[in-house]
Structure 1
Amino acid sequence: MSTLTSTSTGTTSDSGNGTMSATPTKAGWRPRLSGMTWLVWRQHRAGFWTILAAAALSVAWMVYQRGQMMDFLDGYGYPAKSFDEVGEHFQQYVNAFSYVSTGLGAIPILLGVFLGAPLLAGDLENGTAKLVAAQSASRARWLATKLGLTALVVVVSTGALSAVFGWWWNPVKDQNTVLDWSSGSAFDLTGPVPVALTLFTVVGGVAIGVVLRRTLMAMVVTFGFAVAVQVVWDYFRLSLGDVITITTNKGVTAENAFPDLPKAALQIDESYLTGSGDLLGWSTCSGSETDAARELCLKKEDVVGWSVDYLPMSQMNGMQWLGASILFALTAVVVAFLFFWGRKRLV
């Protein structure tokens, strides 16, 4: 028999098949969550609201800092005047970028450990998963709802932080003295990279929790996994770009002999170029005691100019999307594993 009870705060109904649903009253607007979505949100609402609130406060602080920075730069007449004229007076803003980038860089590790690892490991450890499996809702639906809501919170929070941090950095992004675009403090915190990196780490933590089925152990292993992801990502980051080589034939000691690189370009390597097109290490002839002896040595080696490998800043956006695509693909593989494993083992 179906029953219906009503209170001043909302209604709860029995649909007749043993499942309960909650709907908001007309007294005030609330998100329309019901069924499994409402259950998962209620179970993890403390963590979800903490993440969203921390992201909102961080966004507000970065917006304020950008306003302060722009007022400072406008007072100096930047960009009409060279950034070098700002000098050490800009150091406080450099420090702000450094502090914020350090904090934002820790987000994938923190969310992987404290959100991803316990997400299903806690339910498996305390028996909640068995209770859910005994209900009319399928395990696949429960898993999809858990992962879907978690992914939504991660994407919204990290996406907002990435957009605002990039907006804050954009007026001075071509100044390597502020942030080096190829480093993790800039590359990993703007564009799609922070979303992809955090999502992969969190979903990886979920998978670790499902396999280990113990919350504390899963958190410890996820910490190691998240750190390993950061190390591997740092190692392969620059390989996402296409290295450009520029050569000169004006010698190596004359004024302006070294090639001009684009502003904010990352120099990868430099070598001496010989008349036959071979490359010699830049330390060739460095043991010569006098300039004349060095000139003689270079002439003997048939050195005619420089060969320099570099990555221009113009490749940054493409590199970020390529790296994010790889991370999204890896995340999809882990999600597929979770559904495959969860068909029989998620109890």
Structure 2
Amino acid sequence: MTTTAHLGANGTGPVTGGPGAGREPGGRGRLRGLGWLVWRQHRLFFGLLLAAVVGGAAWCVVLRGRMAGFIASHHIDGCSLISLVPRCEGTQEAVTEFRGTYGWALQLAEMGLLLLPVLIGLFLGAPLIARELEAGTHQLVLTQSVGPLRWLAAKAALPALVVLSGVTALSAVFTWMWQAAGDEVSGAYWYSTTDFAVLGPVPVAYALLGLAVGVLAGLLLRRTVPTMGVTLGAMILAPFVLKQIRPYLMPIRTAEFGPEEAAQLPDNAWLVGQGHYTRSGAHLPDNVCDSFGDYESCLRARGVVGQYMDYQPASHHWPLAWIESGLVLAVVAVLTVIAFRVMRRRHG
């Protein structure tokens, strides 16, 4: 007769039994068997994610080749519709044609990558734990030699690895494509809400955030549909909040223009504020004299001698992206720790 001593609540402890007690059917060890179970449960979503990555990457590769060819043949690299660059004189028609030909395809790729973290949170993160708790199927696993913390780790680790690999690959290919035509030529500037969120590490961080929010909400709510609602709300709120503080994650630069100078920044600079400056160096809001009948007299009375513009240069793009991604990943780490604490408290 064979007896088995179950592991403790934390997944550790002695295991005794016959020769096959430490193996799953088919010769799999328990950890491998648990990972295989997680894969089987979510193989449909993993397959769809893989298809999206492969299809999206192929789309970006083809699109990049076509856009780069158009830009090179029309000599419009770095040219916008209205540009101060001398070599871009007379290229407005070609830039307009480029945007009309490839703008929709670029926007389609952007929207796909923008929605991907939200879809990951809704259809992978939210039901990952909530569905198990709602149906009670977790009890079967926890009565075996698998502790609750080990079960949670296995449930979250494999999806996190798949998401990290897939979104990183797709984001890298999209960024490579965007670098051929982004900013001036396409009008898809790095600082726009859409483009900033889909370039470099940013979509990867938000995808992991969607997964972490879904797991924690599932543990707390124990119902799939409410968990999906909370996850959706969080994935809308988080980018909105970070968008408000994004301009201030790095020191803002200021450019001042005298009364005879044209107040204009480089095309790829991110304007975050503007107004007037006085002889004393004080900065006044741009609308300080809007309510006065004689606009020029109002400016003279206040001692205004020129205009200023606060901006983030294009060189700050990647530092800002990594800083924001770091903040999001810090939130992911906090949510993960809380999830394990909740699991330990409720299930020993």
TM-score normalised according to structure 1 size: 0.84
Partner residue, 1:213: 222
Q: CA separation in 2, counterparts of 1:186 and 1:40?
A: 34
Q: Does 1:234 align with 2:232?
A: no
Q: CA separation in 1, counterparts of 2:290 and 2:346?
A: 65
TM superposition shift of 1:110: 1.1
Q: Does 1:275 align with 2:279?
A: yes
TM superposition shift of 1:296: 5.1
Q: Does 1:266 align with 2:253?
A: no
List aligned pairs for 1:131-280, cutoff 5 A.
131-175=140-184, 177-248=186-257, 250-251=258-259, 254=260, 257-280=261-284
Partner residue, 2:37: 39
1:303–1:124 Cα change, 3 Å: same
Could you tell me which runs of 5 or more consecutive residues in structure 2 were left unpaired when the two chains were aligned.
Answer: 3-17, 79-86
1:177–1:44 Cα change, 3 Å: closer
* 1:62-100 deviation digits (Å, cap 9, x = unpaired): 111111111212221343963635232112212212122
Q: Does 1:320 align with 2:321?
A: yes
- Confirm or deny: 8 A CA contact 2:217 2:227 kept in the other structure: yes
TM superposition shift of 1:240: 2.0
Q: CA separation in 1, counterparts of 2:255 and 2:115?
A: 37
Secondary structure at 1:175's aligned position in 2? Answer: coil
Partner residue, 1:129: 138
Amino acid paired to 1:266: W
- Range moving further from structure 2, 82-91 or 135-144: 82-91
Q: CA separation in 1, counterparts of 2:19 and 2:70?
A: 62
Q: CA separation in 2, counterparts of 1:201 and 1:194?
A: 10
TM-score normalised according to structure 2 size: 0.84
* 1:179-201 deviation digits (Å, cap 9, x = unpaired): 12112221110111101011012
- Confirm or deny: 8 A CA contact 1:173 1:181 kept in the other structure: yes
Superposed CA RMSD in Å reads 2.5
1:48 to 42, 46, 49: 46
Partner residue, 1:329: 330
The share of aligned pairs that are identical, in percent, is: 37
Runs of 4+ in 1 over 4 A off after TM superposition: 284-289, 293-297
Aligned residues: 320
Partner residue, 1:7: none
Secondary structure at 2:214's aligned position in 1? Answer: helix
